[in-house]
Amino acid sequence: MTAPVSTAHLISNMQDARNRTLELVRDLDEGQLMGPMLPTVNPLRWEIAHTAYFYEFFILRQLYGYESVLGDRADRLYDSIAVAHDDRWDLPLLNRAETLSYMQAVFDRLAERLGNGMATEQDSFIYQFGTFHEDMHDEAFLWARQTLAYPTPNLAIAADVSAERAAGPHPGWAAVPGGSFPLGAARDAPFLFDNEKWGHSVAIEAFEIAKAPVSNRQFQAFVDDGGYDREAFWDAEGWRWRQQAEAVHPVYWQPDGPGIWLLRRFERTLPLPAHEPVIHVNWYEANAYCRWAGQRLPTEAEWEAAALGETAANGALAAAKRRYPWGETPPDPTRANLDGRALGPIDVGALAAGDSAFGCRQMLGNVWEWTADTFQAFPGFAPDAYKEYSGMLFGDTKVLRGGAWTTRGRMIHGTYRNFFEPHRYNVFSGFRTCRAETP
């Protein structure tokens, strides 16, 4: 179960998440708040109210018997399971002022009922879950702004990362020994999501994994070599996607002459940053690159072992593992590019202080990393209060690990599992590779 935390901590995190939400919509006009109907984004005016609805439904209503601030309209408008995606543009949504008022009213009720002192175990879990749910939607607001070419967001946390953007590449391979490895979360983890239940032993053969994610320069070699036009590098589903999408390069790249590429980041176009990780590529594109390069994607277990594992005295994988690649200390800007502070990726060679025990860099932050595996339940899985969070996606999505520059540091940890359909590219996704066979 979740370790109890103070009510002040819960309220502070909720306020921080809400501040980020407001930062991400404050500068948008009424048309931008709704945007065009696309399968990969929501209307932002619907989505920000949905974050408040989630807290209200799962905490105030389900656990403590409150009535909704909106009465019986709440479920008809903002229940993401009951309200079909394409209907969200046509609903009689609250206007901007009403939406913000609803969000504040729910927040005030949540804070008032907590009181002071230490929260109960139940509140410690469900309030943090609600905050992390809003954090996830804040990341979705960022990919919506990227998808729709909205202006670069103005975040209070933004910092000068010019040094990290001049760090260059980080070539080479990390050797990870074989052995028995505890994949998933331990029962005494401070916080975990249902799909991390429970840690269980898996056998891993020795392997070698890239010390850094695949960079734009590395992926450009695949593009320039005609990788998108050569069916041999794509599996059958991937080739169907490539043909249907008519994809010939990553979605936000733009050609600017032979061997020269530009990149759109939000509304700006810039020269393709050679040593930043390739980002906004889907699983099919990642897998095709691996085939072209004579490499492969890591399995989920291999990724976690490289990120969190250590070597035992006998040279095999140790039975214990870290919570973060660098140890037990929560993330900070010297170890991981998180929280939106860079307003984009940084070079793959940056932040050596965040290396794993095996020398793998940036296994938390900068870019989500596709793994080879389809998202499935671990042994002993049981859903938490939000029963649809994981179960509906088992078998239909691929696993990503590690977080991106958009991900909040308070929610990301080494056993966190993300999951998207293999065709999704507008999420902040990239990958690193394994050698096909260890020499």
pLDDT, tens digit, 9 for 90 and up, residues 192-237:
999 999 999 999 999 999 999 999 999 999 999 999 999 999 999 9
Burial class (CB in 10 A: 0-12, 13-18, 19+), 90: exposed
pLDDT at 438 over 60: no
Q: What percent of the chain has pLDDT over 70?
A: 99
Count of other CB atoms within 10 angstroms of residue 388: 10
Q: How far apart are CA 213 and CA 14, in angstroms?
A: 32
- Please check whether residues 112 and 142 belong to one and the same domain: yes
Cα 108 versus chain centre, distance: 28
Alpha carbon distance 150, 143 (integer Å): 10
**Mean pLDDT, residues 399-413:** 98
For residue range 173-195, what is the model confidence (pLDDT) as tens digits?
999 999 999 999 999 999 999 99
Look at residue 412 and tell me whether its pLDDT is greater than 60: yes
Q: Is the domain of 165 the same as that of 127?
A: no
- Give yes or no for residue 439 having a pLDDT over 70: no
Do 388 and 407 touch, CB atoms closer than 8 A?
Answer: no
Tens-place pLDDT, residues 245-264: 999 999 999 999 999 999 99
Q: Cβ distance 217 to 261 under 8 Å?
A: no
In 3D space, the residue among 33, 273, 27 whose CA is nearest the CA of residue 151 turns out to be 27
Q: What is the CATH number of the domain that holds 238?
A: 3.90.1580.10
Mean pLDDT, rounded, for 308-332? 97
Which of the two residues, 70 and 391, has the higher pLDDT score? 70
Mean pLDDT of 318-334: 97
Q: Is the pLDDT of residue 57 over 80?
A: yes
Q: Are residues 266 and 329 in the same domain?
A: yes
Same domain for 232 and 119:
no
Query: Nearest 5 degrees, angle CA 18-CA 19-CA 21?
Result: 60
The model's pTM = 0.97
pLDDT of residue 430: 98
Residue whose tokens read 């059958």 = 236
pLDDT tens digits, one per residue of 333-367: 999 999 999 999 999 999 999 999 999 999 999 99
pLDDT at 99 over 70: yes
- Asked if residue 266 and residue 234 are part of one domain, the reply reads yes
The whole-number pLDDT of residue 436 equals 80
165 in the same domain as 119: no
Is residue 305 in some structural domain? no
134 and 242 both lie in a single domain:
no
Tell me which residue range forms the domain holding 341. 161-172+212-299+324-439
Answer yes or no: do 265 and 405 share one domain. Answer: yes
Residue 354's pLDDT is 98
When the pLDDT of each residue in the chain is averaged and rounded to a whole number, the result is 97
Whether residue 282 lies inside any domain: the answer is yes
Pick the more confident residue, 211 or 387: 211
- Alpha-carbon distance of 394 to 327, in angstroms, equals 30
Number of structural domains (the chain) is 2
Return the amino acid letter for 223. Answer: V
Query: Is residue 54 in a domain?
Result: yes
Q: pLDDT band for position 1 (50/70/90)?
A: low
Average pLDDT over residues 411-434: 97
Has residue 304 been placed in a domain?
no
Sign of the torsion angle spanned by Cα atoms 280, 286, 289, 294 = positive
pLDDT value at position 2? 83
| 313 part of a folded domain | no
